[in-house]
Structure 1
Amino acid sequence: MIENDTPIYVNNTQIENVESYIYPGQRYSTRDKNQDEEIQRRITAGCTAFAKHRDIFKGNIGTCLKRQVYNSCVLPAMTYGAETRALATKQRTS
C-alpha cells in the first residue's frame, strides 16, 4: 500500500481516502491482496438474494420457474463482475 497524506481536491472538494470500495459489483482493496473478504461478501450477497425469494423456492411452482428465479436473481448476486473462483475449504465452510 502506498502511504500518501497529501489530500486530493476536485472542484474544491477533498476526495475521501478509502482502503476498499465496490465497483462494479466487485470489492477492490488497497491494503490487502487476499480475496477472502470479497468471496465472503459474495456468498453473503447470494444468501441474502436467496432469502428474499424464499417463498418462491418453497412455493408450489415448477422447478423450471424456480431455476429461472435462481439464475436471474441469486446467481448474479454471487458472481457479478467476476470469473468463477475455486474456493478453499475454509471459504466453503464459512
Structure 2
Amino acid sequence: MMETDTPIYVNNTQGENVESYIYIGQIYSTRDKNQDKEIQRRITAGWTAFARHRDIFKGNVGACLKRQIYNSYVLSTMTYGAETWALAIRAKNKLAAAQTVMEKSMLNIIYRDRKTNTWVRENTKVTDAIEQVRRRK
C-alpha cells in the first residue's frame, strides 16, 4: 500500500491524518504491522474487567463462581477480536503472564508462597487464554 498525503474532504471538512485508530473495538495502525498495541490494549481491558469484580475474586466466594465469572467476563474481554490476531511468541507470553497473575490474585497467592503456575491452574481451573484464542480462529 502506498502512502499518500492527499487530503480527504467530507462535507468541505478535511479529515485528520492518524497513525492508528479504533474501529469496532480493535486498534488499527497504518504504520505498525504487528499487533503488540492491540494485544496490550486487550490485556489492559482484561485487567479493567478483573478490577470491576475484585470483590468477588478477592472475597470468600466459591472457586466455581470465580471461575465462571473469569471465563465469561474477563477472558472474553481479553480475547475479544482474537480471530484476527497472528500471535507471536512474545504476545503469547504476555497473555499467559497476565492470566497467571490474575489467577494468583484469585487464590490470594503472593510471590513468597512459591506456587507453580501448574498448581495455580489446577486450583482455579479457568480456561487458558492461549487455547481460547486458538479456538476462536
TM-score tier after normalising by the smaller chain length:
0.7 to 0.9
1:7 counterpart residue number? 7
Task: For 1:87 and 1:60, locate their aligned partners in 2 and report how far apart those are by CA, in whole Å.
Answer: 37
C-alpha contact 1:26 1:82 (8 A) present in aligned 2: no
Identity %: 73
Q: Number of matched residues? A: 94
1:50 counterpart residue number? 50
Aligned-partner SS, 1:21: strand
Q: Could you list the runs of 5+ residues in structure 2 that have no partner in the other structure?
A: 99-137
C-alpha contact 1:24 1:81 (8 A) present in aligned 2: no
Letter in 2 for 1:58: K
Change (3 A) 1:71 1:85: farther
C-alpha contact 1:45 1:78 (8 A) present in aligned 2: yes
CA apart distance, 1:8: 0.6
- After superposing on structure 2, the runs of 4+ consecutive aligned residues of structure 1 that deviate more than 6 Å are none
Letter in 2 for 1:41: R
Larger RCO, structures 1/2 (Cα 8 Å, 6+ apart): 1
Change (3 A) 1:47 1:85: farther
Q: Could you list the runs of 5+ residues in structure 1 that have no partner in the other structure?
A: none
Letter in 1 for 2:82: A
Letter in 2 for 1:50: F
Instruction: Say whether residues 1:28 and 2:19 are aligned partners.
Output: no
Task: For 1:79 and 1:18, locate their aligned partners in 2 and report how far apart those are by CA, in whole Å.
Answer: 25
Task: Provide TM-score, normalisation by structure 1.
Answer: 0.76
1:17-75 CA distance string (max 9 Å, x none): 11111222222111011122221111111112111211111223333322232233211
C-alpha contact 1:9 1:15 (8 A) present in aligned 2: yes
CA apart distance, 1:89: 4.3
RMSD: 2.5
